[in-house]
Amino acid sequence: MVAGGAALLAGTALAGWDTPGDTPNIELVESGHGRGMSQLGAFDSARQGSVAERILAHYYPGATLGTVPTTTVAVRLMDRDDAGLDVYAAAGLRVAGRELESGQVAHMTALPDGGANVAVTVGCDGEVLWQTATKDPWIYPMDPRPGRPAAEHLTLCGGPSYRGALGVASEDGAARTVNRVDIEDYLLGVVPAEVQANWADKGANEALRAQAIAARSYALAEQRYPYAQTCDTADCQVYPGTAKEDQRASTAIATTAGTVLLRDGRILRAEYSAAPDAGAPTDITTFEVGPEPAELAVGKPPTDPRVDAAVPASAIENEYARIGGESSAIGAPLGPEMRLPQNGGTYRLFTNGVIIATPTLGAQIVDFTTLMRLVPDPAVPPSESTGDTPQTDAEAPMSDEPVAQPEQAPDPAVTDGPARDSVPQDDSVPGE
């Protein structure tokens, strides 16, 4: 086998092993349990010229190499247990079938039926723009494909950024947060967190490649929870999102794309550790196995269905559809549904009018003046306005016909918001 080779046929037998020499004093995440590949032993062997395939052959004798199709892995984010999910992205995101702009934040909480409540705010702590319930408990990036730039990563308010989609689940009444991510994007976070990317500068790039194959195999063979295959701590594999991504590790991962360890045709749960010595070969029959590569979901990264069909349409949406939608006299929508003060109902602005919905009157078309009596300008105290007492929902007259386009409608878009960059990366070289 040739060093750096990435394309390996399913069932290819692993090559022999070079005996490792003295292990250098390299700092790793933790000492580990000593089962499977020794990361320090892999480092030493790579420095002596062994390729990743030979390193793996030593630690997992009898295993073969195979390839998996494009697939995703669901990761439980343990630090987010019993917490809500508050997410933004510099490039915007999608949630509940709608697109959010830069600066808008989606707040999601799990419901017992598997759905979620969603509220969208200006910034992490700003005013609520709209809220709804959804049967699709996921927040999606604007572009679901792997390998996307930092502006498209989903960022937690006050926390790290993640590739892929973020969602919520309920486990025995407790809230859980899950990252569903392309397996190759997942490894971009795992490999430089489990070992050090600067190994590539020390003549041990093949140890990074071996780590990528072992980590890919481990994750795809896992099935820990009904809602997630694996977790993000050392109990599974350390996965800090994008925080430790490093181009040196990313290059090593790319040269192994799709490669996994197999036992009897099934993906091997390839345990490994930072054991302080070179380690020893493992009886792979003591390791669990996962699915066959062909059983994995093919070719579908986390993606938004765009239309949240499982959620009933709102009263405003139903009325808009009844009068003919965008081809009707009130024209195209100018923004999302908004709430009236004191939760008195909702309204939505259109090019030539407004649709308002209240519990007592249902959904009706109103003119812009009527709306402003219900939603007064906060900059103008009531005593300085028209002098009229604002009418309640029940008092406000409703027009049966759309009205002419108002001279100026408020812009529902808001520009203030959270920082737009993903979690900054530390340029220092770990372990040096």
pLDDT of residue 262 exceeding 60: yes
What span, in angstroms and rounded, lies between the C-alpha atoms of 99 and 93? 6
Predicted pLDDT of residue 312? 61
* pLDDT, tens digit (0-9, with 9 covering 90-100), for 129-140: 999 999 999 999
Residue with tokens 């998996």: 68
Q: Give the pTM.
A: 0.67
* pLDDT, tens digit (0-9, with 9 covering 90-100), for 44-77: 999 999 999 999 999 999 999 999 999 999 999 9
* pLDDT, tens digit (0-9, with 9 covering 90-100), for 373-415: 766 544 444 444 333 433 433 333 333 333 333 344 333 333 3
Choose among 104, 84, 109: nearest CA to 94. Answer: 104
Query: Could you give the C-alpha distances from 344 to 147, 231, 359, 388, 391, in angstroms and in order?
Result: 45, 43, 8, 19, 12
What span, in angstroms and rounded, lies between the C-alpha atoms of 133 and 92? 20
Query: Could you give the C-alpha distances from 41 to 19, 188, 215, 431, in angstroms and in order?
Result: 10, 22, 16, 17
* pLDDT, tens digit (0-9, with 9 covering 90-100), for 215-253: 999 999 999 999 999 999 999 999 999 999 999 999 999
Predicted pLDDT of residue 420? 27
- The secondary structure of 20-42 as a DSSP string is P-PPP----S------SEEHHHH
Predicted pLDDT of residue 376? 55
Predicted pLDDT of residue 343? 65
CA 366 to chain centre: 40
Among 108-117, 206-215, 299-308, the minimum mean pLDDT is found in 299-308
Q: What proportion of the chain, given as a percentage, has pLDDT over 90?
A: 56
Please list, in sequence order, all residues whose beta carbon lies within 8 angstroms of the beta carbon of residue 39, skipping any fewer than 6 positions away: 28, 32, 194, 195, 207, 211, 272, 273, 274, 275
pLDDT of residue 187 exceeding 80: yes
H helices, E strands: number in the chain: 7, 23
Q: In this structure, what is the dihedral angle of CA atoms 247, 248, 251, 252, given to the nearest 10 degrees?
A: -140
Element (H, E) at 52: helix 52-59
